[in-house]
Amino acid sequence: MKKRQNVTRWKLAAALLSAAVMLAGCGSASSYSDASRAVSNTQAYTGGGSDFYSESAVEEDASADSLASTAIQETNRKLIKTVNMTVETEDYDGLLNTLDKKIAELGGYTEYFSTQGNGSNRYGSMTIRIPKEKLDTFLEMVEGVSNITYRQENVEDVTLDYVDVESRKKMLETEQQRLLELLETAESLDDILTIESRLTEVQYELDSKESQLRTYDNQIDYSTVYLDIDEVVRYTPQEQKGTWERISTGFKENLYSVGNGIKNFFIQFIIHIPSIVVFLAMVGILALIVRFIIHMEQKHSQKVQEKRKKQQMQQVQQIQNIQEQEGKKDAGK
Protein backbone atom coordinates (compact mmCIF):
# COMPACT_ATOMS: atom_id res chain seq x y z
CA MET A 1 0.00 0.00 0.00
CA LYS A 2 2.76 2.41 0.86
CA LYS A 3 4.58 1.55 -2.35
CA ARG A 4 1.47 2.29 -4.40
CA GLN A 5 1.05 5.63 -2.66
CA ASN A 6 4.65 6.61 -3.50
CA VAL A 7 4.09 5.69 -7.13
CA THR A 8 0.98 7.88 -7.22
CA ARG A 9 2.86 10.82 -5.75
CA TRP A 10 5.68 10.30 -8.21
CA LYS A 11 3.25 10.38 -11.14
CA LEU A 12 1.56 13.49 -9.74
CA ALA A 13 4.84 15.37 -9.45
CA ALA A 14 5.89 14.34 -12.95
CA ALA A 15 2.61 15.48 -14.50
CA LEU A 16 2.62 18.85 -12.75
CA LEU A 17 6.24 19.53 -13.67
CA SER A 18 5.45 18.62 -17.27
CA ALA A 19 2.56 21.08 -17.29
CA ALA A 20 4.89 23.80 -15.98
CA VAL A 21 7.42 23.19 -18.75
CA MET A 22 4.63 23.20 -21.35
CA LEU A 23 3.42 26.59 -20.09
CA ALA A 24 6.97 27.94 -20.32
CA GLY A 25 7.04 26.89 -23.97
CA CYS A 26 3.97 29.04 -24.57
CA GLY A 27 5.86 32.09 -23.29
CA SER A 28 3.51 33.16 -20.52
CA ALA A 29 5.47 34.24 -17.45
CA SER A 30 2.52 34.42 -15.10
CA SER A 31 1.20 31.01 -16.09
CA TYR A 32 4.65 29.50 -15.72
CA SER A 33 4.81 30.89 -12.19
CA ASP A 34 1.50 29.24 -11.31
CA ALA A 35 2.56 25.86 -12.68
CA SER A 36 5.95 26.04 -10.96
CA ARG A 37 4.26 26.82 -7.65
CA ALA A 38 2.05 23.77 -8.07
CA VAL A 39 5.11 21.61 -8.80
CA SER A 40 6.93 23.00 -5.79
CA ASN A 41 4.00 22.12 -3.56
CA THR A 42 3.95 18.63 -4.97
CA GLN A 43 7.68 18.12 -4.56
CA ALA A 44 7.34 18.95 -0.87
CA TYR A 45 5.75 15.58 -0.24
CA THR A 46 7.25 13.53 -3.13
CA GLY A 47 10.78 12.53 -4.02
CA GLY A 48 12.86 11.21 -6.89
CA GLY A 49 11.68 10.79 -10.48
CA SER A 50 14.11 13.32 -11.96
CA ASP A 51 14.82 11.18 -15.02
CA PHE A 52 11.14 10.97 -15.83
CA TYR A 53 10.82 14.76 -15.41
CA SER A 54 13.51 15.39 -18.03
CA GLU A 55 11.90 13.11 -20.58
CA SER A 56 8.44 14.60 -19.99
CA ALA A 57 9.79 18.14 -20.24
CA VAL A 58 11.28 17.48 -23.68
CA GLU A 59 8.07 15.85 -24.89
CA GLU A 60 5.81 18.64 -23.57
CA ASP A 61 8.04 21.40 -24.94
CA ALA A 62 7.96 19.81 -28.37
CA SER A 63 4.19 19.39 -28.04
CA ALA A 64 3.74 23.09 -27.21
CA ASP A 65 5.80 24.21 -30.21
CA SER A 66 3.94 21.83 -32.48
CA LEU A 67 0.57 23.04 -31.15
CA ALA A 68 1.39 26.72 -31.73
CA SER A 69 2.78 26.04 -35.21
CA THR A 70 -0.30 24.04 -36.19
CA ALA A 71 -2.63 26.73 -34.85
CA ILE A 72 -0.93 29.44 -36.92
CA GLN A 73 -1.12 27.31 -40.06
CA GLU A 74 -4.77 26.39 -39.58
CA THR A 75 -6.01 29.81 -38.47
CA ASN A 76 -7.12 32.37 -41.05
CA ARG A 77 -6.01 35.95 -40.66
CA LYS A 78 -7.90 37.57 -37.81
CA LEU A 79 -8.70 41.12 -38.88
CA ILE A 80 -10.61 43.76 -36.91
CA LYS A 81 -12.08 46.42 -39.22
CA THR A 82 -13.11 49.85 -37.96
CA VAL A 83 -14.63 52.70 -39.98
CA ASN A 84 -15.06 56.34 -38.90
CA MET A 85 -17.47 58.44 -40.97
CA THR A 86 -19.06 61.89 -40.84
CA VAL A 87 -22.02 62.52 -43.14
CA GLU A 88 -24.48 65.31 -43.91
CA THR A 89 -28.19 64.92 -44.55
CA GLU A 90 -31.08 67.22 -45.43
CA ASP A 91 -33.58 64.66 -44.09
CA TYR A 92 -32.41 63.68 -40.62
CA ASP A 93 -35.35 61.47 -39.64
CA GLY A 94 -35.47 59.84 -43.07
CA LEU A 95 -31.77 58.91 -42.92
CA LEU A 96 -32.16 57.39 -39.45
CA ASN A 97 -35.07 55.25 -40.63
CA THR A 98 -33.11 54.11 -43.69
CA LEU A 99 -30.10 53.20 -41.53
CA ASP A 100 -32.21 51.22 -39.05
CA LYS A 101 -33.82 49.19 -41.82
CA LYS A 102 -30.54 48.47 -43.59
CA ILE A 103 -28.75 47.51 -40.38
CA ALA A 104 -31.47 45.00 -39.55
CA GLU A 105 -31.51 43.72 -43.13
CA LEU A 106 -27.76 43.04 -43.08
CA GLY A 107 -27.92 41.26 -39.72
CA GLY A 108 -26.16 43.99 -37.77
CA TYR A 109 -27.17 46.02 -34.73
CA THR A 110 -26.82 49.50 -33.24
CA GLU A 111 -24.55 49.45 -30.22
CA TYR A 112 -24.90 53.16 -29.33
CA PHE A 113 -26.97 56.14 -30.46
CA SER A 114 -27.37 59.73 -29.29
CA THR A 115 -28.90 62.87 -30.81
CA GLN A 116 -28.67 66.56 -29.98
CA GLY A 117 -30.16 69.82 -31.19
CA ASN A 118 -33.59 70.67 -32.59
CA GLY A 119 -35.28 72.08 -35.65
CA SER A 120 -33.14 71.76 -38.75
CA ASN A 121 -29.83 71.73 -36.90
CA ARG A 122 -29.60 68.29 -35.29
CA TYR A 123 -26.57 66.11 -34.71
CA GLY A 124 -26.46 62.35 -34.20
CA SER A 125 -23.75 59.87 -33.23
CA MET A 126 -24.00 56.11 -33.81
CA THR A 127 -21.87 53.03 -33.17
CA ILE A 128 -22.95 50.32 -35.59
CA ARG A 129 -21.87 46.66 -35.76
CA ILE A 130 -22.09 45.06 -39.20
CA PRO A 131 -21.11 41.50 -40.24
CA LYS A 132 -17.65 41.77 -41.81
CA GLU A 133 -18.71 40.25 -45.13
CA LYS A 134 -21.47 42.87 -45.52
CA LEU A 135 -19.49 45.96 -44.50
CA ASP A 136 -18.89 47.17 -48.07
CA THR A 137 -22.61 46.87 -48.86
CA PHE A 138 -23.48 49.00 -45.84
CA LEU A 139 -20.89 51.67 -46.67
CA GLU A 140 -22.14 51.91 -50.27
CA MET A 141 -25.68 52.40 -48.96
CA VAL A 142 -24.55 55.21 -46.61
CA GLU A 143 -22.70 56.91 -49.45
CA GLY A 144 -25.83 56.75 -51.60
CA VAL A 145 -28.21 58.36 -49.10
CA SER A 146 -26.00 61.06 -47.57
CA ASN A 147 -23.10 63.41 -48.26
CA ILE A 148 -19.84 62.02 -46.84
CA THR A 149 -17.49 64.71 -45.52
CA TYR A 150 -15.04 62.43 -43.68
CA ARG A 151 -14.14 58.75 -43.94
CA GLN A 152 -11.35 56.68 -42.41
CA GLU A 153 -10.94 52.90 -42.42
CA ASN A 154 -8.62 50.95 -40.13
CA VAL A 155 -7.70 47.24 -40.20
CA GLU A 156 -5.95 45.65 -37.22
CA ASP A 157 -4.37 42.20 -37.62
CA VAL A 158 -4.72 40.29 -34.33
CA THR A 159 -3.84 36.86 -35.72
CA LEU A 160 -0.77 36.34 -33.53
CA ASP A 161 -2.56 37.45 -30.38
CA TYR A 162 -5.54 35.25 -31.21
CA VAL A 163 -3.36 32.18 -31.85
CA ASP A 164 -1.42 32.80 -28.65
CA VAL A 165 -4.59 32.94 -26.55
CA GLU A 166 -6.06 29.92 -28.34
CA SER A 167 -2.89 27.86 -27.84
CA ARG A 168 -2.76 28.83 -24.20
CA LYS A 169 -6.40 27.75 -23.80
CA LYS A 170 -5.74 24.34 -25.36
CA MET A 171 -2.76 23.70 -23.10
CA LEU A 172 -4.78 24.68 -20.05
CA GLU A 173 -7.46 22.21 -21.10
CA THR A 174 -4.80 19.50 -21.44
CA GLU A 175 -3.43 20.33 -18.01
CA GLN A 176 -6.95 20.33 -16.58
CA GLN A 177 -7.64 16.86 -18.02
CA ARG A 178 -4.43 15.44 -16.55
CA LEU A 179 -5.16 16.96 -13.16
CA LEU A 180 -8.62 15.40 -13.19
CA GLU A 181 -7.09 12.00 -14.00
CA LEU A 182 -4.61 12.40 -11.16
CA LEU A 183 -7.40 13.46 -8.82
CA GLU A 184 -9.18 10.16 -9.45
CA THR A 185 -6.12 8.14 -8.38
CA ALA A 186 -4.98 10.42 -5.52
CA GLU A 187 -5.21 8.79 -2.09
CA SER A 188 -3.69 11.17 0.43
CA LEU A 189 -5.41 14.37 1.59
CA ASP A 190 -2.37 16.48 0.67
CA ASP A 191 -2.45 15.19 -2.91
CA ILE A 192 -6.15 15.92 -3.24
CA LEU A 193 -5.85 19.47 -1.84
CA THR A 194 -2.88 20.31 -4.07
CA ILE A 195 -4.59 19.05 -7.21
CA GLU A 196 -7.86 20.81 -6.41
CA SER A 197 -6.01 24.07 -5.74
CA ARG A 198 -4.29 23.90 -9.10
CA LEU A 199 -7.56 22.90 -10.79
CA THR A 200 -9.15 26.07 -9.45
CA GLU A 201 -6.32 28.19 -10.86
CA VAL A 202 -6.51 26.44 -14.22
CA GLN A 203 -10.28 26.91 -14.42
CA TYR A 204 -9.92 30.62 -13.66
CA GLU A 205 -7.33 31.00 -16.43
CA LEU A 206 -9.51 29.00 -18.83
CA ASP A 207 -12.46 31.31 -18.20
CA SER A 208 -10.24 34.33 -18.83
CA LYS A 209 -8.90 32.94 -22.12
CA GLU A 210 -12.38 31.96 -23.31
CA SER A 211 -13.59 35.49 -22.55
CA GLN A 212 -10.70 36.96 -24.56
CA LEU A 213 -11.49 34.68 -27.50
CA ARG A 214 -15.18 35.62 -27.41
CA THR A 215 -14.24 39.31 -27.45
CA TYR A 216 -11.89 38.77 -30.37
CA ASP A 217 -14.51 36.76 -32.27
CA ASN A 218 -17.09 39.51 -31.82
CA GLN A 219 -14.70 42.22 -33.00
CA ILE A 220 -13.57 40.12 -35.97
CA ASP A 221 -16.99 38.85 -37.09
CA TYR A 222 -18.68 42.26 -36.71
CA SER A 223 -16.96 45.33 -38.11
CA THR A 224 -17.49 48.58 -36.18
CA VAL A 225 -18.74 51.76 -37.87
CA TYR A 226 -18.60 55.03 -35.92
CA LEU A 227 -21.05 57.29 -37.76
CA ASP A 228 -21.59 61.01 -37.06
CA ILE A 229 -24.61 62.63 -38.74
CA ASP A 230 -25.01 66.39 -39.31
CA GLU A 231 -28.38 67.81 -40.38
CA VAL A 232 -27.89 70.65 -42.87
CA VAL A 233 -30.04 72.84 -45.08
CA ARG A 234 -27.62 72.42 -47.98
CA TYR A 235 -24.83 69.91 -48.60
CA THR A 236 -21.21 70.99 -48.39
CA PRO A 237 -19.94 70.99 -52.00
CA GLN A 238 -17.25 68.49 -52.92
CA GLU A 239 -13.81 69.78 -53.84
CA GLN A 240 -13.63 71.27 -57.34
CA LYS A 241 -10.45 70.94 -59.40
CA GLY A 242 -10.94 73.42 -62.28
CA THR A 243 -10.34 77.16 -61.82
CA TRP A 244 -13.57 78.22 -63.51
CA GLU A 245 -15.48 75.55 -61.61
CA ARG A 246 -14.07 76.89 -58.36
CA ILE A 247 -14.97 80.49 -59.34
CA SER A 248 -18.45 79.44 -60.40
CA THR A 249 -18.97 77.42 -57.24
CA GLY A 250 -17.68 80.25 -55.04
CA PHE A 251 -19.94 82.80 -56.75
CA LYS A 252 -22.97 80.54 -56.41
CA GLU A 253 -22.15 79.86 -52.76
CA ASN A 254 -21.77 83.58 -52.05
CA LEU A 255 -25.00 84.37 -53.87
CA TYR A 256 -26.73 81.63 -51.96
CA SER A 257 -25.36 82.96 -48.66
CA VAL A 258 -26.57 86.51 -49.42
CA GLY A 259 -30.01 85.30 -50.47
CA ASN A 260 -30.24 83.00 -47.50
CA GLY A 261 -29.19 85.83 -45.20
CA ILE A 262 -31.88 88.16 -46.57
CA LYS A 263 -34.46 85.41 -46.32
CA ASN A 264 -33.49 84.63 -42.73
CA PHE A 265 -33.64 88.35 -41.89
CA PHE A 266 -37.21 88.69 -43.10
CA ILE A 267 -38.20 85.44 -41.45
CA GLN A 268 -36.76 86.58 -38.14
CA PHE A 269 -38.31 90.03 -38.60
CA ILE A 270 -41.78 88.59 -39.16
CA ILE A 271 -41.36 86.15 -36.27
CA HIS A 272 -40.37 88.98 -33.92
CA ILE A 273 -43.01 91.51 -35.04
CA PRO A 274 -45.03 91.08 -31.80
CA SER A 275 -41.91 91.67 -29.75
CA ILE A 276 -40.99 94.68 -31.89
CA VAL A 277 -44.50 96.17 -31.50
CA VAL A 278 -44.38 95.73 -27.74
CA PHE A 279 -40.91 97.23 -27.61
CA LEU A 280 -41.92 100.25 -29.71
CA ALA A 281 -45.03 100.73 -27.59
CA MET A 282 -42.94 100.70 -24.44
CA VAL A 283 -40.48 103.15 -25.99
CA GLY A 284 -43.39 105.40 -27.02
CA ILE A 285 -44.93 105.33 -23.55
CA LEU A 286 -41.56 106.01 -21.99
CA ALA A 287 -41.03 108.93 -24.37
CA LEU A 288 -44.45 110.40 -23.47
CA ILE A 289 -43.67 110.07 -19.78
CA VAL A 290 -40.31 111.77 -20.21
CA ARG A 291 -41.88 114.51 -22.33
CA PHE A 292 -44.60 115.06 -19.74
CA ILE A 293 -42.03 115.29 -16.96
CA ILE A 294 -39.96 117.77 -18.98
CA HIS A 295 -43.09 119.84 -19.73
CA MET A 296 -44.05 119.90 -16.08
CA GLU A 297 -40.53 120.91 -15.12
CA GLN A 298 -40.57 123.69 -17.68
CA LYS A 299 -43.99 124.88 -16.54
CA HIS A 300 -42.93 124.90 -12.93
CA SER A 301 -39.75 126.72 -13.80
CA GLN A 302 -41.75 129.29 -15.76
CA LYS A 303 -44.08 129.86 -12.82
CA VAL A 304 -41.14 130.31 -10.49
CA GLN A 305 -39.56 132.82 -12.86
CA GLU A 306 -42.83 134.76 -13.22
CA LYS A 307 -43.22 134.79 -9.46
CA ARG A 308 -39.70 136.06 -9.00
CA LYS A 309 -40.25 138.68 -11.68
CA LYS A 310 -43.45 139.80 -10.03
CA GLN A 311 -41.74 140.05 -6.67
CA GLN A 312 -38.95 142.06 -8.20
CA MET A 313 -41.47 144.44 -9.80
CA GLN A 314 -43.24 144.84 -6.49
CA GLN A 315 -39.97 145.63 -4.79
CA VAL A 316 -39.14 148.21 -7.46
CA GLN A 317 -42.61 149.73 -7.11
CA GLN A 318 -42.19 149.95 -3.35
CA ILE A 319 -38.84 151.64 -3.74
CA GLN A 320 -40.31 154.14 -6.18
CA ASN A 321 -43.20 154.86 -3.82
CA ILE A 322 -40.78 155.44 -0.96
CA GLN A 323 -38.69 157.76 -3.08
CA GLU A 324 -41.80 159.73 -4.18
CA GLN A 325 -42.92 160.14 -0.57
CA GLU A 326 -39.51 161.34 0.49
CA GLY A 327 -39.49 163.76 -2.45
CA LYS A 328 -42.85 165.23 -1.42
CA LYS A 329 -41.62 165.73 2.15
CA ASP A 330 -38.55 167.57 0.96
CA ALA A 331 -40.67 169.81 -1.28
CA GLY A 332 -43.04 170.75 1.62
CA LYS A 333 -40.17 171.91 3.75
Domains and CATH numbers, the chain: 2-75+161-218 (1.20.1260), 79-159+223-231 (3.30.70)
Q: How far apart are the C-alpha atoms of 321 and 166, rounded to whole Å?
A: 133
Q: What is the pLDDT of residue 180?
A: 94
pLDDT tier, 121 (very low <50, low <70, confident <90, very high otherwise): confident
pLDDT tier, 101 (very low <50, low <70, confident <90, very high otherwise): very high
Convert the pLDDT of each residue in 8-29 to its tens digit. Answer: 444 454 445 454 444 444 433 3
Greater model confidence, 67 or 133:
133
Greater model confidence, 269 or 160:
160
Kindly tell me if the per-residue pLDDT of 61 is higher than 80. Answer: no
pLDDT tier, 316 (very low <50, low <70, confident <90, very high otherwise): confident
Q: How far apart are the C-alpha atoms of 330 and 327, rounded to whole Å?
A: 5
Convert the pLDDT of each residue in 158-200 to its tens digit. Answer: 999 999 999 999 999 999 999 999 999 988 999 999 999 999 9
Q: How far apart are the C-alpha atoms of 150 and 238, rounded to whole Å?
A: 11
Classify the phi-psi angles of 144: left when phi > 0, otherwise alpha if psi is within -120 to 50, otherwise beta. alpha
Share of the chain above pLDDT 90, in %: 47
Taken in order 21, 27, 28, 33, the sign of the CA dihedral is positive
Q: What is the pLDDT of residue 107?
A: 96
Residue 197 corresponds to which amino acid? S
Q: What is the pLDDT of residue 333?
A: 61
* Strand-by-strand arrangement of the 109-116 sheet: 109-116, 123-131, 222-231, 79-89, 147-157
Q: What is the pLDDT of residue 242?
A: 64
38, 20 Cβ separation under 8 angstroms: yes
Q: How far apart are the C-alpha atoms of 224 and 154, rounded to whole Å?
A: 10
Kindly tell me if the per-residue pLDDT of 64 is higher than 90. Answer: no
Say which residues have a Cβ less than 8 Å from residue 81's Cβ, sequence separation at least 6. Answer: 132, 135, 153, 154, 155, 156, 223, 224
Q: How far apart are the C-alpha atoms of 175 and 173, rounded to whole Å?
A: 5
Average per-residue pLDDT in the chain?
78
Q: How far apart are the C-alpha atoms of 285 and 274, rounded to whole Å?
A: 16
List alpha helices for 27-49, DSSP H: 29-43
Q: How far apart are the C-alpha atoms of 137 and 174, rounded to whole Å?
A: 43
Greater model confidence, 233 or 255:
233
Q: Nearest 5 degrees, angle CA 174-CA 176-CA 15? A: 75
Share of the chain above pLDDT 70, in %: 71
In 140-235, the DSSP E strands lie at: 147-157, 222-231
